[in-house]
Amino acid sequence: MSSQTPGDRGPVRARRTVASYDNYADAERAVDYLADQKFPVERVSIVGRDLKLVEQVIGRMTLGRAVLNGALSGALAGLLIGWLFTVFDWTDPVVARGWLILDGFWFGALVGALFGLIAHLLTGGRRDFASIGALQADHYDLLADEEVADEAERLIAGLPAAPARDETRFSRGSRTPPGRRVGSA
């Protein structure tokens, strides 16, 4: 199968699942092992399955914290803009270079604090917490192009077992490395 994709990213190839892992680190370790065995890893993909959004709450979002976060973001942006104006000499030479950077810093902090305050007040108390969101998958499939899938499976069968971190889930007689599932999806 070798048709072009709409984004012109190259030919679309038939792929097959050669292994499935419970966590990304084990899937990454398998691809690294394939690379060490001189396998053409550009013909392999790690695909996360059963994705879910996990939002870790890291604390309350108070008015003071919103203003401080805004001020820090604004100060960083202002510092960068002031530095760029200095480096590229976009201002009248009468303005001292150091002052331009300092002015960008304090003005950015002031504007950022104001925006942080307004943004927090506009929520009306509906989201009074700070969080970090991330996508996580329940398992990770290792896919290989059909032409090289048998070789990938053969090599992965020789992959040494992962360090014992959660081997209690597997029976003693199991020949399946921790984190790896047998069969294809």
Interhelix angle for 97-122 vs 63-87, to 10°? 150
Do 172 and 143 sit in the same domain of this protein?
yes
pLDDT at 183 over 90: no
Q: How many domains does the chain have?
A: 2
Assigned domain for 98 exists:
yes
Q: Which of 127, 147, 163 is the last residue of a domain?
A: 127
Assigned domain for 81 exists:
yes
Q: Which of 127, 150, 171 is the last residue of a domain?
A: 127
Do 123 and 78 sit in the same domain of this protein?
yes
For 116, the domain range is 62-127
| Structure tokens, 117 | 């305050």
pLDDT at 162 over 60: yes
Could you tell me which of 159, 161, 160, 152 has the C-alpha nearest to residue 184? 152
pLDDT band at 87 (very low <50, low <70, confident <90, very high): confident
The pLDDT mean for the chain works out to 82
pLDDT digits (tens, 9 = 90+) for 139-159: 999 999 999 999 999 999 988
Could you tell me which of 20, 45, 46, 35 has the C-alpha nearest to residue 155? 35
Unique residue bearing structure tokens 């925006």: 115
As a whole number of angstroms, the distance between CA 81 and CA 102 comes to 10
pTM, rounded to two decimals? 0.53
Number of helical H runs and strand E runs in the chain: 4, 4
pLDDT band at 6 (very low <50, low <70, confident <90, very high): very low
Do 102 and 123 sit in the same domain of this protein?
yes
As a whole number of angstroms, the distance between CA 139 and CA 142 comes to 10
> Is 93 or 36 the better-scoring residue by pLDDT?
36
| Structure tokens, 145 | 């192009």
pLDDT at 93 over 70: no
Assigned domain for 169 exists:
yes
As a whole number of angstroms, the distance between CA 115 and CA 170 comes to 53
pLDDT digits (tens, 9 = 90+) for 23-72: 999 999 999 999 999 999 999 999 999 999 999 999 889 999 999 999 99
As a whole number of angstroms, the distance between CA 145 and CA 112 comes to 49
Do 74 and 122 sit in the same domain of this protein?
yes
* Other CB atoms within 10 A of residue 28 CB: 14
